[in-house]
Amino acid sequence: MSTYKALRKNPSAPQVSEVLIAALREIPVAALSDNMHRNIGTVGLRPYHRPGKHTMAGTAVTARSRGGDNLTYLRALEFCRPGDVLIIDAGGHLDNAVVGGILSFYAASIGVAGLVIDGAIRDVAEIREREFPVYARGVTHRGPYKDGPGEINVPVSVGGMVINPGDIVVGDQDGLLAIPPGEAEVVLDGARTTLANEANTIRAMKEGRWDRSFIDALEARCNN
C-alpha cells in the first residue's frame, strides 16, 4: 500500500486467465446468476452503451471516490491493464458526473473491458453510439470535481454488490455480477448446463411436448 496526497493506492490483483474470460464472454449473465443462488448482483445500475454480441467480462480494478469527484478515476486508469473492468464506487452520488464521453473513450483506447460506476455519467448520446460497456446509476450534465480523496484497489460496494480487487466482473443488458476467481469454473460449468437445459425446454415447446406437471408440484407445496 502507498499513500500519495489524497489517494490510497494498492497494486492491482493478478488477472484472471484469458481462456476463462473468453469462455465467460459467451455466457449470458442470467445463466451465471442462476448458478450463484440468484441473490448476487447489482441493483439500480443500468447499461448506457450500445448492446454488443458478447458479455462483458474482466478482472476487477476497483476505486472508491468521493461522490462527484473523479480524481481517483483518473489515477485508477493507470492501474488498469488490457482486459480489466474498472469499478468506481462513487457512493451512488448523482449530482455530478464522474465519467463522460472523453474519459470513457480513453478507457476503451487503452484496452479496458468496461466501466462500472455507482454514480453519474454524462455525454450519454455519445456513449450510446459505442459498444464499449458503460454501466452507471444515473445521468447529469454537471461535471466532476478533481480534489479527492479516494482509494484504489480496495473492496467496494457497487449497486449493493461487494466487489473485491481481482474478482471477475461480468455484465450484459440484464445487469452485472461479480464472481470470485476460485468459484468461476464451477459457475461456468453450471451455466453451460443451464443453457443446455433451456435449449431442451425451447425445443420441447416448439414440438408441443413441454411437460408442465412441475407446476402442480410447485402449487401443491404452497402454504398460503
Tell me the Ramachandran region of residue 166: left when phi exceeds 0, alpha when psi lies from -120 to 50, beta otherwise: left
Predicted local confidence at residue 57, as pLDDT: 98
Task: Using a pLDDT cut of 70, give the percent of the chain over it.
Answer: 97
Q: What would the CATH number be for the domain defined by 2-193?
A: 3.50.30.40
Per-residue pLDDT tens for 48-81? 999 999 999 999 999 999 999 999 999 999 999 9
Does pTM top 0.85 for this prediction?
Answer: yes
**From CA 150, how far away is CA 20, in angstroms rounded?**
31
* Dihedral angle sign, alpha carbons of residues 154, 158, 160, 164: negative
**Band of the pLDDT at 222, cuts 50, 70, 90?**
confident
Q: Is the pLDDT at 154 greater than 90, yes or no?
A: yes
**Range with the lowest mean pLDDT among 109-118, 137-146, 201-210, 213-222?**
213-222
**Band of the pLDDT at 208, cuts 50, 70, 90?**
very high
Give the chain's mean pLDDT: 95
Residues 6+ apart with CB under 8 A from 21: 57, 58, 59, 83, 168
The pairing of strands 156-158 and 84-99 is unpaired
